[in-house]
């Protein structure tokens, strides 16, 4: 790590306590940087009326106005307040800036940081083009890609979670795309968190097979396939139960139409770890995630994962060894893979054990080091091609 890299700014439109893959990833990166003595400034939309600028040790938070994201009312997109972002950067004087989201706030941050000649790295955390396809807005795909390419090419490089994502963006003209893997906390997520009491609360027996889904309960997550898989397996064996952990626009309809499905709502921390470990098979039916942190969390919890062969599953699962992978988009193959676990207890046991062993090798520590190294490289590149403006650093809480 470059010893001179002492201050980093992170610009994002979602952060803890919001629950999603982006916020989860950024939380790990921020904690890793703070543990290494790096001061971190976070610029993000205000999450609620009392959410204000603050300094907590080495963590400086700047909150700016935002508006609800349609369909995700609990999340905000930031406004393009370039002047206020520029002022925040001048006061904190970071040596590098990481822009995690491509909305108006991210664009304004890229412009402001660029004018101040700061090293900038961006992250590609959301498959916008696949969301567009899901909602049948195909006419927007090309202009969306044009904007994303323009945005990311304003920065020194773009970090993506998988090799497939890197290859795809390079084919669309994105420059300097690099893979930054994702880790998993194998101490928090562990088979040891399995709870007989929680299973009793669910109303399942010891020998019931619990299919678990964790994530947003929404159409773009392909919930229809999760439900179809459950119905087909339940018809073959009444011991099959489905547990949903999360919230979203389809949750109420599922509760009304299929009251036998166990809906647990949003869970965090130890409670989430218990919910994972108390399942048996993890269903990841999504075809739109860039990675899917829930896959590695399920593996760390000792679950047999059934997924399409892409994103996190493609990176970390060898089908038949530590999970089961269906060809991307082949719904029938997906359901058939899940069905094999009904009559193959030895396979189920082996997949669960091997999933845990794989997850133990996916640590956040080395990923944080690589992240810092990427930011350091961006700073070095700017220093080589132009002297960065220096400013007297003041408290970022005054912005």
d(CA 315, CA 164): 9
CB-based contacts of 345: which residues, under 8 Å, 6+ apart? none
What is the chain's percent helix, strand, coil content, to nearest 5?
A: 45, 20, 35
Predicted local distance difference test score (pLDDT) of residue 331: 97
* Predicted TM-score of the model (pTM): 0.89
Q: Where are the domains of the chain?
A: 7-183+363-398, 191-359
Condensed to tens digits (0 to 9), the pLDDT of residues 255-267 reads: 999 999 999 999 9
CB-based contacts of 108: which residues, under 8 Å, 6+ apart? 78, 79, 80, 81, 82, 85
Q: How confident is the model at residue 2 (pLDDT cuts 50, 70, 90)?
A: very low
Condensed to tens digits (0 to 9), the pLDDT of residues 146-189 reads: 889 999 999 999 999 999 999 989 998 999 999 999 999 999 99
Predicted local distance difference test score (pLDDT) of residue 66: 87
Same-fold call for 7-183+363-398 versus 191-359: yes
d(CA 22, CA 106): 14
CATH superfamily, with its number, for domain 191-359: Glycogen Phosphorylase B; (3.40.50.2000)
Domain 7-183+363-398 grouped into CATH 3.40.50.2000: yes
- Let me know: does 242 contact 230? Beta carbons within 8 Å: yes
Predicted local distance difference test score (pLDDT) of residue 145: 83
SS (H, E, C) 43-92: EEECCCCCCCCEEECCEEEEEECEEEECCEEEEEEECCCHHHHHHHHHHH
d(CA 104, CA 106): 5
């Amino acid at each position: 790590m470059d010893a001179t890299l002492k201050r980093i700014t992170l610009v994002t439109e979602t952060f803890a306590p919001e629950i999603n893959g982006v916020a989860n990833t950024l939380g790990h990166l921020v904690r890793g940087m703070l543990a290494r003595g790096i001061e971190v400034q976070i610029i993000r939309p205000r999450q609620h009326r009392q959410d204000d600028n603050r300094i907590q040790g080495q963590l400086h938070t700047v909150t700016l106005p935002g508006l609800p994201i349609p369909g995700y009312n609990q999340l905000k997109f930031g406004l393009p307040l370039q002047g206020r972002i520029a002022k925040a950067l001048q006061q904190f004087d970071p040596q590098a800036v990481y822009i995690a989201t491509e909305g108006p706030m991210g664009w304004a941050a890229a412009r402001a940081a660029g004018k101040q000649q700061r090293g900038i790295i961006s992250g590609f955390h959301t498959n916008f083009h696949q969301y567009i396809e899901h909602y049948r807005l195909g006419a927007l795909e090309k202009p969306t890609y044009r904007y994303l390419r323009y945005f990311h090419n304003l920065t020194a490089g773009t970090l993506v979670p998988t090799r497939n994502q890197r290859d795809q963006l390079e084919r669309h003209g994105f420059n300097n795309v690099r893979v930054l893997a994702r880790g998993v906390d194998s101490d928090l997520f562990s088979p040891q968190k399995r709870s007989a009491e929680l299973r009793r609360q669910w109303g399942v027996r010891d020998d019931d097979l619990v299919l678990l889904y964790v994530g947003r309960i929404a159409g773009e997550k392909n919930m229809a396939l999760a439900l179809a898989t459950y119905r087909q397996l339940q018809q073959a064996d009444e011991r099959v139960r489905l547990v949903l952990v999360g919230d979203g626009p389809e949750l109420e309809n599922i509760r009304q139409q299929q009251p036998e499905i166990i809906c647990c709502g949003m869970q965090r921390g130890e409670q989430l770890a218990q919910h994972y470990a108390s399942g048996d098979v993890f269903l990841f039916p999504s075809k739109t995630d860039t990675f899917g942190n829930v896959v590695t969390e399920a593996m760390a919890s000792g679950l047999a994962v059934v997924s399409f062969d892409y994103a996190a599953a493609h990176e970390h699962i060898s089908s038949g060894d530590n999970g089961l992978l269906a060809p991307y988009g082949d719904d029938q193959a997906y359901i058939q893979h899940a069905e094999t676990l009904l009559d193959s207890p030895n396979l189920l046991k082996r997949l669960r054990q091997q999933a845990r062993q794989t997850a133990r090798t996916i640590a956040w520590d080395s990923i944080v080091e690589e992240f810092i190294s990427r930011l350091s490289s961006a700073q070095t590149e700017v220093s080589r091609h132009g002297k960065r403006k220096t400013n007297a650093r003041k408290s970022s809480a005054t912005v």
